[in-house]
């Protein structure tokens, strides 16, 4: 059964590690109906939205890549996630998208005008429609940016507004939503323990 799980939290809260654990638990159960030969192929797709703009970010990306199972497929899609994912999603049982935060940032930096929030929300709705059409279970990671101070710049406020709206769209459609703090998951939506 296809599921959408959203994993929210602050920086270094353990979101990505938890999302990987969820995907590892989901993939074997979905593969159990296949023969041994069919199980050997990569059935988990990791969608990476980060771009290595500097050495520190390149090191973060390398560390994230090293933490994933080698048999998983990685799809780098920093901007056009729907366009990159749509032709291949049906070949996978599980999709891990890490993360909405960087995707929204990438979109906003490419078109930082007054209509950017509406454009980003429309693209998020397209991504959710693709998720709904696919047979794969999705685990999506995003930062919760609404707990801190209001950013002092117009671009910072536009980012916070756009990501907050995207997070709400994903949370509304999700079967389960987890909030991470200090590496510990708090389930906010869904049947208790679902996906664990």
Structure tokens at 70: 């080698």
> How far apart are alpha carbons 104 and 109 in whole angstroms?
9
Distance CA 153, CA 4 (A): 33
Catalytic residue, chosen from 10, 17, 21, 64, is 64
Distance separating the N- and C-terminal Cα atoms of the chain:
15
15: annotated active-site residue = no
Burial class (CB in 10 A: 0-12, 13-18, 19+), 21: middle
- Three-state DSSP state, 184: strand
DSSP secondary structure letter of residue 193: T
Would you say 141 and 7 are in contact if contact means Cβ atoms under 8 Å apart? yes
Paired with 95 in beta bridges are 45, 138
Q: Which residues are catalytic?
A: 64
């Amino acid at each position: 059964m296809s599921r959408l799980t959203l994993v929210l939290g602050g920086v270094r809260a353990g979101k990505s590690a938890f999302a990987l654990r969820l995907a590892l638990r989901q993939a074997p159960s979905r593969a159990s109906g296949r023969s041994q030969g069919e199980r050997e192929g990569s059935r988990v797709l990791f969608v990476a939205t980060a771009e290595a703009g500097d050495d520190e970010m390149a090191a973060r990306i390398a560390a994230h890549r090293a933490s994933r199972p080698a048999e998983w497929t990685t799809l780098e899609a920093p901007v056009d996630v729907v366009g990159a994912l749509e032709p291949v999603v049906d070949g996978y049982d599980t999709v891990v998208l890490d993360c909405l935060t960087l995707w929204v940032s990438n979109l906003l930096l490419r078109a930082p005008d007054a209509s950017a929030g509406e454009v980003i929300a429309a693209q998020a709705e397209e991504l959710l429609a693709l998720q709904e059409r696919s047979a794969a279970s999705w685990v999506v990671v995003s930062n919760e940016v609404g707990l801190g101070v209001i950013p002092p710049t117009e671009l910072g406020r536009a980012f916070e507004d756009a990501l907050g709206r995207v997070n709400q769209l994903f949370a509304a459609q999700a079967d389960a939503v987890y909030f991470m703090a200090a590496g510990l998951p708090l389930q906010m939506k869904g049947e208790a323990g679902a996906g664990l």
